[in-house]
Amino acid sequence: MLTMLGQLALAYVAVLGFGLIINIPRRALNVAGWIGTLTWGCYLIVQSFDGGVVLGSLIGSIGIGVLGNLAAHYKKMPSIIFNIPSLVSFVPGSQAYQMVRTFAVGRYLTAVGFMLQVVMITGAIALGFLLAELINRLITFCLQQWGRLRQI
């Protein structure tokens, strides 16, 4: 439990740091950090049910896409400002490094295994964004219908 809270705090800090590097507007920093924390929490929950890294990344990136869009409407800023920093904890950096290392020392079979992991995680993130786009369109559509109903 304590390690989980620690991980969430670290996720917030890391997103904040990446936001500073790519120079997002100051008033977006906090919101981006919270999106990163929430989605990392979803990832950890999936992990604790033995869901695996790929499913965790999928759920996390769906969360980032949807929450980023909501934050963009709320703060009136482009949604990439929230998406890109929040995604930093989901980058398969560890697997990509292991792939390069095993390739460099000539253990090609292990390297291909790591490469497949990197490809699958990246694909899961891309698919997550696609699904998030779908959910965003649904939310906009429902809001429009709701507005029309209230006018009548």
Q: Closer to another protein by CB, 62 or 99: give it.
A: 99
**Measuring CA to CA, which residue among 74, 75, 71, 73 is closest to residue 36?**
71
Q: Closer to another protein by CB, 27 or 150: give it.
A: 27
Give min distance, CB of 148 to another protein, in A: 23
Q: Closer to another protein by CB, 21 or 109: give it.
A: 21
At position 118, the amino acid (one-letter code) is V
Give min distance, CB of 97 to another protein, in A: 5
Give min distance, CB of 94 to another protein, in A: 4
Phi and psi (nearest 5°) for 24? -85, 155
Q: Closer to another protein by CB, 13 or 135: give it.
A: 13
Q: Which residues bind another protein (CB under 8 A)?
A: 7, 10-11, 13-14, 16-26, 28, 40, 76-78, 80-81, 83-84, 87-89, 91, 93-94, 96-101, 103-105, 122, 125-126, 129-130, 133
